[in-house]
Every structure is written in structure tokens, then in C-alpha cells.
Amino acid sequence: MAKTTLREEDADDPLTLANARFEHFLKTQQSIPWALVSTYLDQRAAGKSPQRPQPQTFFGDHGSPRIDA
């Protein structure tokens, strides 16, 4: 996620953080699909050291992920 400047008192506010993340998504159209996050978290819970999922760029009316060939 791009660096977002939050005031120190807002850093612990989940609503402020969610708004900052959504603003970042609107600017970049990049997000990590839940399926990748879920797999990553399941592997961590199993004691493995998986690579962190990377953001993917989304586009179009239906939020279809871009496929880079």
C-alpha cells in the first residue's frame, strides 16, 4: 500500500484506516484479492512462512483482475 499520512491519533481508528485504504484503491486500482489473503493467513496459521501476496491491478466495470502475459 502506498504511504498514507495519518495523524497519530487517527492511526488506531479502524474507520480512518479503512477510508485511507479505500482512497488508495481508488487512486491506484490495486488491491489484494481475499482468496490470496485467506490462503496466506491459513499458511501462516499452519506454521509455514509463505510469501506475502502482492497487490493486483483491477479495471473494468466488474473489477476483473488484469492478466499480465
pLDDT digits (tens, 9 = 90+) for 44-68: 999 999 999 999 987 755 555 555 5
Alpha helices in 1-69 (DSSP H): 14-28, 34-45
Residue 2 in domain: no
**Bigger pLDDT: 12 vs 30:** 30
Residue 59 in domain: yes
Domain that includes residue 16, residue range: 8-65
Q: Could you tell me the pTM of the whole model?
A: 0.56
What residues have CB less than 8 Å from 6, skipping those under 6 apart? 16, 17, 20
> What Å distances lie between residue 65 and 18, 49, 56, 58, 59, CA to CA?
21, 26, 7, 5, 7
Residue 3 in domain: no
Residue 1 in domain: no
CB-CB contact of 29 with 57 (8 Å)? yes
CB-CB contact of 5 with 11 (8 Å)? no
> Structural domain tally of the chain?
1
Q: What's the confidence (pLDDT) of residue 5? A: 64
